[in-house]
Amino acid sequence: MTYQALTTEYAGNEVFERCPGLKIATLVRNRSELFARLFDKYAHTYEFEGKDDDNVDNKLAKSLTVRLEEDIPDLGDITCDIDDEVEMPLKGKISEWLKELHHNSRGFELGTYQPSILSNSMKKQSLKWETLAIGYLSDIITMVHKFIVDLLEHVCPERIVRQELMVILMEQLAAQYTRALDHVKFLLQVECAENPGTMNQYFATGLHDRY
């Protein structure tokens, strides 16, 4: 059944219709695509000029909830709070902010700009990355944990036996969940707090043409 769940071969077993939480591959795929869309729209502090928002309702909202899956007791100390939110991007202020950032970063350079402006702007623009990423991963962890619980319930009808098995499994599962969250935080630290770098040739070309 685990193989069927991971390869989306649901037709061969009616249990997937009775328990949608066992469709783990589909659930993770759909949540990942939603995360990508939300990250593209709302992960920056200042809205990029000329970027349209095709959702009118979102224009009226001031914040966005980063969790979609309800908390479960076993994961209360691992996943982030179900009520965690991020503010919507600030509209119409990015030019003023960049001008102010440049003005406060100038030195005696000629015909270019202080390199630290890239690092400073990246840190400011990516302030919401961790909250969004941890919210997304908390949902994935919750989905995986529900899958394990539902699968055990299917293969082991005895409630007391299932509880004992979960006690045995929980220590290792909690360690794996925590390790995944720590890894994401490490990647975010590298991406957002260190000096930015790129091998994209269009950045250097565009910079040369501009200056």
- The pTM assigned to this predicted structure is 0.81
What share of residues in the chain are helix, strand, coil (percent, to 5)? 65, 5, 35
Quick one: pLDDT at residue 57? 46
Q: Among 43-52, 178-187, 189-198, where is mean pLDDT lowest? A: 43-52
Q: Are 171 and 109 in contact (CB under 8 A)?
A: no
Task: Determine phi and psi for 46, rounding to 5 degrees.
Answer: -110, 135
Confidence of residue 141 (pLDDT cuts 50, 70, 90): very high
Mean pLDDT of 47-62: 58
- Exposed / middle / buried, residue 40 (Cβ in 10 Å: 0-12, 13-18, 19+): exposed
Confidence of residue 175 (pLDDT cuts 50, 70, 90): very high
Confidence of residue 56 (pLDDT cuts 50, 70, 90): very low
